[in-house]
Amino acid sequence: MKLYSGSASEFLQDTNRNEIADKLSDQFFAHFRYRPAESEVRSWRNSLRAMSGVITEGNLENTGVLLEYQLPLSSKRLDCMLTGHSKSGTPQAVIVELKQWESCEAADGDHVLTWVGGGEREVLHPAAQVGQYKMYLRDMHTAFYKKPDPIGLAACSYLHNYPYNPQDVLFDPKYSHLIETAPVFTKSDFDPLTAFLSERIQFGDGMQVLDQLEGGKLRPSKKLMDHVASMIEGQPEYVLLDEQLIVFDKVLACAKSGVSSDTKHILIIHGGPGTGKSVIAINLMGRLLRDGRSVNYATGSKAFTETLRKVIGRRGSGQFKYFNSYQDAVSNDLDVLVCDEAHRIRKASWSMYTPKADRTDRPQVDELISTAKLGVFFIDDAQVVRPGEVGSSGLIRDAAVKAGATVHEYKLEAQFRCSGSSAFVNWIDNTLDVQRTANVVWEGDELFDFQILESPEAVETLIREKANKGNTARMVAGFCWPWSKKPLADGSLATDIIIGGYERSWNARPDATRLAKGIPKAPLWAREPGGIDQVGCVYTAQGFEFDYVGVIIGEDLTYDQDQQKWVGNKKQSHDTVVKRSGDQFIDLVKNTYRVLMTRGLKGCYVTFLDKQTEWFVKSRISKL
């Protein structure tokens, strides 16, 4: 999808007549069925006027112009792309990211702080942003790598309101590796920008290149496939064992036969906590890419997805998406879509922030099934922890049958977490009344260290002892305390959790800015070393595993001895979304603690704020 495509001379005419923003707005409405924000229209008008001056002065009227081009299988849109030929006759395209910034400040990694959308936000450095677009297109679009005549691709950013200062944070040496491959031009760099573009596309015939680009297809390059596969295969935590390998081979066989047939195939892989669903899913990504398949990995977890993207690296991050990424996907655009944690599938892909005009009645599960010739869904029906998450094996099965797909189902039985103790997981299920199992009483396991301790301090002491010995370990809790919105002035986190003398912070918010060094944001809390200094909740812990986990069980879930049943206490919860779930509240909170207590590979340490509940749980243990 693009909002504008034409020759540079046409673009100049539309800009000179002050019609370009209106044409973009009309095309936006035609595609999305609602009008763009006035701020976006104003941005188009200002930035494209600046861009028209560059094209005129650079004598680039014979080039092609593509505006607001949506990256395949992504909601991201390129501001501007110019096409033409170099002096040697090579077809070329240049992505130009347009910014109206006037200043910015340094932030961690490849980020900067600037004023965007009415507030100060942490965003990618312009060179990092446009560099990612370049990398994504070069790896994913056949026009940029398919022989014999691939289009060369370059990228830059033009900050047409930004005053140049070599000492400015924008040009800090830590960003130099980004700027080398994707230069940044300010309002003082008009001539250098025109020279940069002229060198690549001045010898015109840009419409021929534009036609070649628009005629290309979405398909990952072999180099990208090899990169992602090698990164996955190089991670020791992704090694398959025993039954995991058996199921992996079964799924891979179905994948090979399913992709080559005309019939859509859907595989549903059932498995409880610790059975290796994610390990198999990630390995499938690597193997299918090695086999030359176009494949995406999707999940509903921001924390898990962002951690995977960091592990895989920026180049392969575009292969790892969210369940709501496929609203505009073409049917069977992919060979394979691997859906991990499919229980987190939502009713629809739009959210409360989506304009009403852009909301559809199409179920998210239908979008996922439509996207690929083969869909592989890994699921645990008892891990739904939020209202609106409707994923279930029944939902997927019914949607697949409705789509005319052949359905295959497998079940993972072997336990690889909790030191392989399926008895512990079954005991948790039985004790929380999630499902009836044969393990009514926990009889202990010398390979798995489970302890109920008298206080959060005692739990954290053990967690830190384990971490100091080289183990991965984290503190987690039910969502029973408010979550501070902003860090303190010095970048540290406010105290959120107060239990007597125990005072700790929740993990930082995903959008937190100006954090002190060593404090990870929520999506990376589970993996970054500094995460041990904050308490995580189910949204940052689900999908991950640690050697040892310490769990604070709050008073949002208690056991009533008189009624002999679990009771959900909404007044003790600060999860506003879950509190609005009506009768579903107690089941969601049970599932939450089930998830938290089954994160440990070697041990789980628990403390209860409600002593009656602690007494009940202890009554179901034969020995500690």
SS3 79: strand
Predicted confidence at residue 358, as pLDDT, reads: 66
Which has more confidence, 76 or 405? Answer: 405
Query: Distance (Å, rounded) from C-alpha 384 to C-alpha 345?
Result: 9
Tokens of 423: 């008895």
Sequence-distant (6+) residues with CB within 8 A of 352 are: none
pLDDT range class, residue 350, cuts 50, 70, 90:
confident
For the stretch 551-580, pLDDT in tens is 999 999 999 988 999 999 999 999 999 998
**Beta-strand pair 546-553/473-477:** parallel
Query: Distance (Å, rounded) from C-alpha 558 to C-alpha 456?
Result: 17
Q: Residue 269: pLDDT above 60?
A: yes
- In the sheet with 91-99, reading across from the earlier edge strand, the strands are 2-7, 64-70, 77-85, 91-99, 152-159, 184-186
Predicted confidence at residue 21, as pLDDT, reads: 94
At residue 23, φ and ψ (nearest 5 deg) are: -65, -40
Are 68 and 95 in contact, with CB atoms under 8 Å apart? no
Q: Residue 416: pLDDT above 60?
A: no
Are 493 and 505 in contact, with CB atoms under 8 Å apart? yes
Q: Residue 113: pLDDT above 60?
A: yes
pLDDT, mean of residues 247-265: 80
Q: What is the largest CA-CA distance in the chain?
A: 86
| Beta-bridge partner residues of 204 | none
Buried b (16+ CB within 10 A) or exposed e, 524-559: bbbbbebbbbbbbbbbbbbbbbbbbbbbbbbbbbbb
pLDDT, mean of residues 141-168: 91
SS3 261: coil
Ramachandran sector of residue 68 (left: φ over 0; alpha: ψ -120 to 50; beta: rest): left
pLDDT above 70: percentage of residues in the chain: 92
pLDDT, mean of residues 379-402: 89
Predicted confidence at residue 239, as pLDDT, reads: 63
Residue 189 has, within 13 A of its CA and on its CB side, a CA count of: 20
Predicted confidence at residue 488, as pLDDT, reads: 95
For the stretch 450-477, pLDDT in tens is 999 999 999 999 999 999 999 999 999 9
Q: How far, in whole angstroms, is CA 553 from its chain's centroid?
A: 28
pTM of the model: 0.70
Predicted confidence at residue 534, as pLDDT, reads: 97
Choice among 72-81, 527-536, 567-576 with the minimum mean pLDDT: 72-81
Predicted confidence at residue 571, as pLDDT, reads: 95
Q: Which residue has the tokens 């049917």?
A: 331
Ramachandran sector of residue 242 (left: φ over 0; alpha: ψ -120 to 50; beta: rest): left
Which has more confidence, 82 or 293? Answer: 82
Residue 11 has, within 13 A of its CA and on its CB side, a CA count of: 32
Query: Distance (Å, rounded) from C-alpha 467 to C-alpha 486?
Result: 28
pLDDT range class, residue 298, cuts 50, 70, 90:
very high
pLDDT above 90: percentage of residues in the chain: 54
Give the torsion through C-alpha atoms of 80, 84, 86, 87, to 10 deg.
Answer: -140
